[in-house]
Amino acid sequence: MPVALSTATITALEDKATMMRIHSVRSTNAAGSGHPTTCASAAEIMSALFFSVMRYDPKKPADRRNDNFILSKGHAAPVLYAAWCEAGYIRPADLLNLRKIDSDLEGHPPVTLPFVDVATGSLGQGLSVGLGMALAARLDGTPQRTYVLMGDGEIAEGSVWESVEVASHEGVDNLCATVDVNRLGQSSPTMLEHDMKTHKARWTAFGWNAIVVDGHDVAALVAAYAEAAATKGKPTVILAKTLKGKGLPGENQNGYHGKPVASGEVEQVLKTLEGKLSGSKKPWKPNLPAKGAKAKASRPKKMSAPPYALGDLVATRRAFGQALGALAKSDPRVVAVDADVKNSTYTEDLEKVDSKRFFQGYIAEQNMVGVAMGLGCRGKIPFASTFACFLTRAADFLRMAAISRTNVNLVGTHAGISIGEDGPSQMGLEDLAMTSTLPNYTVFYPSEAMSAWRAIEAVAAIDGPCYVRTSRPNTPTLYGPDEVFGPGIAKVVKKSKKDQVTVVGAGVTLFEALKAHDELAKQGIAIRVVDLFSIRPVDKKTLVACARATGGRVVTVEDHYPVGGVGDAVLGALAEEGNIKLKKLAVREIARSGQPDELLEKYGISAKHIIKAVKSLI
């Protein structure tokens, strides 16, 4: 759809671009660091988007009716701040606080700013998050469009192409990506440099509507975005050919990345840029979002009761799926993203409730987590699940979810050597360490069906990233429907006044501990058995009380590598206690295929090894 802009409008947009260059130079100069050259290449793109194309209220940057914008190339943060300054939300003087410890205008965009939904700067993640936002708008039937600005260097990331192929498959036409093709990376030119023909061929081959434009021509940019909005059935990418450092010293030259303009050149650079301003006083009128376009708030109903009786043999992964289905019936905000394992993770239980709220992410775990993050940013309660071992592929997305404080619930199934014959490539043995080390995460490890159901119920109500670890084998149900589970709650499963050692397990190892309890009882040795359940936060009060009651003697046993799991969580809780003697049983080498019971025995976490550890302490 052709867009005819008046000469005055084009001049006003060019002035906005020039002002954003000026702000970027001033702020990075005041900070003594930053990336003004990548800001300069994107100035016209930002001007077209913020001052002609996007529908948003500059006085209410967090309004859910606004169009969504993600600066995936987060090192260009100064130009984002400059755009909001030109929109009237940020004062020009505040831009000079860039990168200061007491300022929210950080080196890369933080979520403490109301116009930032997710922290960016770890390149290759913005498009996945944007896809999640676009899917949320489509699900809600609201008119928001999502715009993601990337650099040409970051599209070397495989996660970008994961999101590209899924967005095309989903036909998400309310998603528009822009690639700032400025030819230069941090240390050298990008792979394709300014080969716009090949850039276009790649995106077109993935099923996108690809438009090549001069990225410094505001009229051409506005026209391209109008074409994107009119394109139905497929997403659009604007491939904007630009010059890195446009208008600054070192324009289109390598070696200027991440360097502010030299102090001796700043005055002249600013004078030159200011000389390009037209002097026009034409006021800018924001393109406000449509009234009433916000998704209707939903009212959750009470979740149905867990269907388990004491002794029922149910795998915790199965209980996860059943709980997820029940949760979806009670709360329309609940959605699921799966990595082509829905018949093993049992997320198909949600799909049966409402197929529109089930998103097939295929075997692309980075994008799966990014999409879940985007859904969470738009008011959904997302669950992203796959085998625990494959979540490691998305480790950096998990890290950025923590930094973004994103409401996303991750579920790893088939954890540990207890999966059996599939062998070590399928055994998640590091997932607790990966998630427990991250700030803002809640981490649960249920051992049986009732606690797994309650774990899913609990994380749905927690605002922030969560991880639930589940297992493949069937285990007997230990708890009744009135048992309370949640953050920082462990359960003492076996207890007597004669207990000599506390044994802490979780998942399948809890049942090995119970076997050891019964065998040791025959030998006249009493032990206390604790189901840890909450890895983070850990139930320090219960663990300290149990350790004191058993003379400081503690054994931990886990279907996980020895670092960062159950044992380390218990050690952390007991760190300030004196006179603690702790033995940590864990998988200490690369495992192999075998029957689950054989593997627990071979790798030192069976009842037999627990008994040996208990006796060594007493």
**Residue 265 is among the residues annotated as catalytic for this protein:** no
Output the DSSP codes for 583-600.
EEE---S---S--HHHHH
Burial class (CB in 10 A: 0-12, 13-18, 19+), 189: middle
The answer to whether the beta carbons of residues 517 and 550 sit under 8 Å apart is no
CA distance 212 to 231: 15
CA distance 40 to 20: 8
Element (H, E) at 84: helix 77-86
Structure tokens at 34: 């930053």
Structure tokens at 329: 């019936």
CA distance 448 to 455: 11
Burial class (CB in 10 A: 0-12, 13-18, 19+), 434: buried
Element (H, E) at 150: strand 146-151
Element (H, E) at 469: strand 466-469
For residue 537, which of 486, 611, 582, 580 has the smallest C-alpha distance? 486
Assign 3-state DSSP to the chain and report helix, strand, coil percentages, each to 5: 40, 15, 45
Instruction: Give me the catalytic one of 365, 448, 512, 558.
Output: 365
Output the DSSP codes for 495-539.
--TT--EEEEE-THHHHHHHHHHHHHHHTT--EEEEE--EEES--
Tokens 């995106």 belong to 203
* Catalytic residue numbers, as ranges: 365
